[in-house]
Amino acid sequence: MRIAVLAGDGIGPEVTAQAVKALRAIAANNGPQFEMAEAPIGDAAYDRHGDPLPPATAELAAKADAILFGAAGTYESDLRPPKHVAAMACCGFASSSISSPTSARSSPSPSSSALPP
């Protein structure tokens, strides 16, 4: 399984590093094998490449079987072009945590019927 590891900003690198350790431990104990590749996203990518979603990151994500996404955006994000979430949503890997509450409620899931309209 190919996993794009997009740590991003804030606590993202810390959280994704622990998730990668867990995946490696699973693989080391006769579990499924993972091919993991990292790429920058969010303010970290903007600082290095002038773009919160560099083309190489979008390409890696598009080719991956799964995406391990940390976080995107910091307090500095308010001073930059409002491209972070929109860019990620356009590439199809925005989660309900960065989508609007309405879109999170409308997504099909076992618990969605328990949420108010």
- For 82-93, write each residue's pLDDT tens digit: 555 555 554 555
Q: Look up the pTM and report it.
A: 0.70
- Write out pLDDT tens, residues 50-105: 888 899 998 999 899 999 988 877 766 666 655 555 555 545 554 444 333 333 33
47 and 12 in contact (C-beta within 8 Å)? no
Average pLDDT over residues 14-21: 95
pLDDT at 48: 92
pLDDT of residue 44: 87
Question: What CA–CA distance (Å, rounded) separates 59 from 76?
Answer: 26
The type of residue at 7 is A
